[in-house]
Amino acid sequence: GAQRESKVRVRAHFDYNPDVDPYIPCKEAGLAFQRGDVLHIVGQDDAYWWQARKEHERSARAGLIPSRALQERRILHDRSQKDGIDLDSKQNDDFDREQIATYEEVAKLYPRPGVFRPIVLIGAPGVGRNELRRRLIARDPEKFRSPVPYTTRPMRTGEVAGREYIFVPREKMDADIEAGKFVEHGEYKGHLYGTSAESVKSIVNAGCVCVLSPHYQAIKTLRTAQLKPFLIHVKPPELDILKATRTEARAKSTFDEANARSFTDEEFDDMVKSAERIDFLYGHFFDVELVNAELVNAFEQLVQN
Ligand code: 5GP
């Protein structure tokens, strides 16, 4: 028959082997998995045994796995054995359930039909996160949009208020940053620049995909801003590929005078080192890693997921 649609996707935080589970009603019906596997929960009718199948094994049958409640109970039981805690006493309520790692819901790119999570491109300077954002928007400007940033610098001739930037007085922007109205901000040559949470929300609420490419230090504020961003680490390829592709790209580049020069070997090394540092500091936050060799293809796939 037709495969049942999964309601929930979770990432398992523990290994499970039904063969050594004395309580499973039927070992043959069990589904083995490992910590880190993504599971589609296809049945939650039973309080103790859920039905699930593993992601990327769509043809495979669904099997029984312990429910969250059962697994929490087991972990608590193991801990109480170890620490001599009486499981049935009221003390039990003191356990913080958040601390019991069982299954973590995996956020989707589409939280509701017609609503897209903001895509946040993070990458070491020079690897191409801004260029990637520009290309994405150029490809489908109806779908991908970036908010107009705020700045406190004076408007230049040829600029239009609200097009390049929303120009605001310093005191106003200082106060708004203080009030948490910016999802990211930075200072450049004595002027403030930043992206407001409102402008991100209005793009999301219009049914478009909001694309941001802030400095990597913005990861923390973006993650706490209740925007549920889809974080992508744009990584450089291997050093020799990086050098070859970027030198070629630069030779063809016409869009930006200041950038129309080659990177030095030192700059290439810095890119690779910065990327490693970003990985080390924030690696666990990323939903996806993209190696920026052939970008647009990777994106198309991603957004269609
Ligand atoms: P310009 O004043 O020449 O338009 O921009 C100078 C610099 O301001 C940019 O290179 C960039 O580093 C910074 N900038 C522009 N927009 C933003 C923004 O939305 N947020 C942050 N943090 N910096 C920005």
Dihedral sign, Cα of residue 34, residue 38, residue 44, residue 47: positive
Percentage of the chain with pLDDT > 90? 49
Q: pLDDT digits over 104-159, tens only? A: 877 655 556 678 889 999 999 988 899 889 988 998 999 999 999 999 999 999 99
| Mutation pick for ligand 1 pocket among 193, 211, 216, 219 (CB with most ligand atoms within 8 Å) | 193
Of all protein residues, the one whose alpha carbon is nearest to atom 23 of ligand 1 is: 193
Name residues contacting ligand 1 (CB within 6 A): 149, 153, 184-186, 188, 193-195, 214
Q: Is the pLDDT of residue 169 over 90?
A: yes
* Ligand 1 mean position, distance from CA 182 (Å): 14
Of all protein residues, the one whose alpha carbon is nearest to atom 12 of ligand 1 is: 188
Q: Is the pLDDT of residue 285 over 80?
A: yes
Give the full edge-to-edge strand order of the sheet including 103-105. Answer: 63-66, 49-54, 38-43, 8-12, 103-105
Of all protein residues, the one whose alpha carbon is nearest to atom 8 of ligand 1 is: 188
Residue 202: φ, ψ to 5°: -70, -35
* Ligand 1 mean position, distance from CA 134 (Å): 15
Q: pLDDT digits over 244-283, tens only? A: 887 766 655 554 544 556 789 999 999 999 999 999 899 8
* Ligand 1 mean position, distance from CA 256 (Å): 15
Q: pLDDT digits over 205-249, tens only? A: 899 999 999 999 899 888 865 688 889 999 998 999 888 887 766
Confidence at residue 126, expressed as pLDDT on a 0 to 100 scale: 87
Confidence at residue 78, expressed as pLDDT on a 0 to 100 scale: 84
Dihedral sign, Cα of residue 199, residue 205, residue 211, residue 216: positive
Of all protein residues, the one whose alpha carbon is nearest to atom 24 of ligand 1 is: 193
The reported pTM is 0.64
Of all protein residues, the one whose alpha carbon is nearest to atom 17 of ligand 1 is: 193
Confidence at residue 284, expressed as pLDDT on a 0 to 100 scale: 83
Distance CA 72, CA 287 (A): 26
* Ligand 1 mean position, distance from CA 294 (Å): 26
| CA of 186, closest atom in ligand 1 | 22
Mean pLDDT, rounded, of the chain:
84
Owner of token pair 């200041």: 258
